[in-house]
Chain A
Amino acid sequence: MVPVRTYWASETAAVLDLEGEVTLERQRRIWWLANLFRELPGLREVVPGMNNLTIEVDPLATDGARLLEDLEDGWQRSVAADTAVRQVEIPVHYGGGAGADLDVVAAHAGLSRAQVIERHTGALYTVFFLGFLPGFAYLGGMDPRLATPRRREPRLEVPAGSVAIGGSQTAVYPVASPGGWQVIGRTDTRLFDIERDPPALLRPGDTVRFFDAGSGS
């Protein structure tokens, strides 16, 4: 049994927290659980996180004590969500002006640039959840050898489409943002587009493959 904890993080946010390691199987149960609450009266947000789920409600329209119980009960009977697995291919221009920190990652890993690209394109990633910025996908599955600490001084602006590594994670910046991750390349694929429905390209459960679209300039 997975040790779980439910609590109010604030006046409005009820949380289910799983202890222990993050696995795809658990994330899939969290997505299943998230769907249980979409029709809750007074609901504001249902947000899967890494090994957790947050339900934000209007506290004056919801029975608070009951919600924590429902979260816990729901988890106990949850099953892995049967999400249709879509594979999304993302072309990346690695290195050069598009990926100024490719050498930093290579040096840290003790690999050549080509080897970094090979390992980054060689993995099959899974979207664990979206957060931070619109359409920003937290991906599981990066080769641990590529893990690189964040920059000591975050950049004031990381351009939209930047593909980066921060610690043991990799992601694409959907919009320009300040950021401390090591930028290794850039994609022209739009991860977030307000003209699209849904606006986010990726959703939890999708698998992602990066491929080398030629060097960045």
Chain B
Amino acid sequence: MITVLQPGMQASVQDHGRPGLRHLGVGLSGALDRLSLSIGNALVGNPPGAAGLELTLPPAQLRFESDCLVALTGADCPAQLDGSSVGAGRAIAVGAGQTLRLGEARAGARAYLCVSGGIDVAPVLGSRSTDLQAHIGGLEGRALRKGDRLAVGPAGLPASQAALRANGYAGAAPPAVVRLPQPGGAIRVLPGPEFEEFDGAAREAFLQTAWTVAPQSNRMGFRLQGPALTRANSRDMNSHAVFPGFVQVPPGGAPIVLMADAQATGGYPRIATVIAADLWRVAQVRPGGAVTFELAGREQAQGASQRQRRYLSRLQDGLDAHRSQR
């Protein structure tokens, strides 16, 4: 059991979402930064899509009611276990009754806490993710509150301090520590189907502006503040499927980057789409932070996706090898 003592701005149970149900109006949901969730799961011996906690804008505090193995990834937050500093990007053995405290993030917006065995809420339509728009999944379809208690599934790795030391996990020595990917940098996008319908000035503004992520951004979409983008053509569009990463421009001219809880279909012009490999970077920009875009091509996008998959599989292989040596 894990007890939520302080959820921070927003905390929720997330996994890799529920793909394949968009034709029923059910969105993907899942971790906004899937890369960080996958890394955290690898560190504690879980499959990549096991359910963990997405902690948006800590400070946050959790108390563990049983021994378990956890890992912190994503936003760079100072963390303390019963007052002693613990690092991100490695497995941490936590004893029953201990409290983990995450301070305000030094960089990034969303920290992920993965626990060996995963967060064990009842799956809904094949996923434990909380879809905050549809109010399904996670704990009662809602964000976590102070006092919530979460069950943990059966752990695949031993959790006691002694067993961990025997497995080479204690301390900061490599290779049990992984270097976490660093967010930041321009977000690569493909031109969207309506890119050419925006006039030259709007296209240039889209690519030149350091956009500010608006405070009312959420898991459904990040609203961007900057110059209004005008579409030369004002034809009405039929509703079509939309996906996380689509950058829509409603008539007001302020773009919205759709995120994991985005609606299944929409009808606004699509100026661009964020490449799959960069979506986690968007997720790590906090409200008030800046986002810039740069154009990429399909091959570049697929190359980046491939590299990200290789990174994860090398990480997994490295951890497996490390564990089997002990």
Chain A contact residues, CB within 8 Å of chain B: 7-13, 15, 17, 22, 34, 44-52, 54, 56, 59-60, 64, 129-136, 138, 174-177, 192, 194, 198-200
- B residues less than 8 Å from A48 (CB atoms): 23
For window 259-297 of chain B, which residues contact chain A by CB distance below 8 Å? 263-266, 270, 273, 275-276
Are A51 and B238 within 8 A (Cβ)?
A: yes
A51–B235 Cα gap in the complex (Å)?
A: 15
A176–B131 Cα gap in the complex (Å)?
A: 13
Are A130 and B193 within 8 A (Cβ)?
A: no
Are B24 and A135 within 8 A (Cβ)?
A: yes
Are A134 and B238 within 8 A (Cβ)?
A: no
Q: Contacts A133-B263, A175-B135, A176-B135 hold; do A194 and B238 have CB atoms under 8 A apart?
A: no
| B246 contacts A by Cβ under 8 Å | yes
Are A45 and B20 within 8 A (Cβ)?
A: yes
- In the complex, residue of chain B having the shortest beta-carbon distance to the beta carbon of A11: B301
For window 51-67 of chain B, which residues contact chain A by CB distance below 8 Å? none
Question: What would 15 more interface pairs be, CB under 8 Å, given A11-B302, A49-B265, A132-B239?
Answer: A11-B276, A12-B243, A15-B240, A45-B21, A47-B22, A130-B23, A130-B25, A131-B22, A132-B265, A132-B266, A174-B25, A176-B135, A194-B136, A199-B125, A200-B24
Are B25 and A13 within 8 A (Cβ)?
A: no
Q: Which 3 A/B pairs are nearest by Cβ-Cβ distance?
A: A131-B265, A10-B273, A47-B241
Are B25 and A134 within 8 A (Cβ)?
A: yes
Number of residues of chain B lying within 8 A (CB) of chain A: 38
- A residues less than 8 Å from B264 (CB atoms): 47, 130-133
22 contacts between A and B (CB under 8 A): A9-B270, A9-B273, A11-B273, A11-B298, A12-B276, A13-B273, A15-B241, A45-B21, A45-B22, A47-B22, A47-B264, A50-B238, A54-B240, A56-B241, A56-B243, A129-B239, A130-B25, A132-B265, A138-B239, A194-B136, A198-B24, A199-B24
Interface centre among A10, A64, A138 (most CB of B within 10 A): A10
Contact with A along B151-169 (1 / 0, CB 8 A): 0000000000000000000
A139–B108 Cα gap in the complex (Å)?
A: 42
Chain B contact residues, CB within 8 Å of chain A: 19-26, 124-125, 133-136, 190, 192-193, 238-241, 243, 245-246, 263-266, 270, 273, 275-276, 298, 301-302, 305-306, 309
Interface centre among B23, B125, B133, B302 (most CB of A within 10 A): B23
A135–B133 Cα gap in the complex (Å)?
A: 13
Are A54 and B241 within 8 A (Cβ)?
A: yes
Q: Contacts A11-B276, A11-B298, A132-B25 hold; do A175 and B134 have CB atoms under 8 A apart?
A: yes
A135–B21 Cα gap in the complex (Å)?
A: 10
Q: Contacts A131-B25, A132-B263 hold; do A11 and B238 have CB atoms under 8 A apart?
A: no
Min CB gap B240→A, angstroms: 4
- A residues less than 8 Å from B190 (CB atoms): 8, 10-11
Q: Return the contact of B125 from the options A11, A174, A194 (Cβ within 8 A).
A: A194
Q: Contacts A50-B240, A130-B25 hold; do A9 and B192 have CB atoms under 8 A apart?
A: yes
- B residues less than 8 Å from A134 (CB atoms): 24-26, 134, 136
Are A45 and B19 within 8 A (Cβ)?
A: yes
Interface centre among B20, B238, B275, B276 (most CB of A within 10 A): B238
Q: Return the contact of B124 from the options A51, A54, A194, A200 (Cβ within 8 A).
A: A194
Q: Contacts A10-B246, A135-B24, A198-B24 hold; do A49 and B241 have CB atoms under 8 A apart?
A: yes
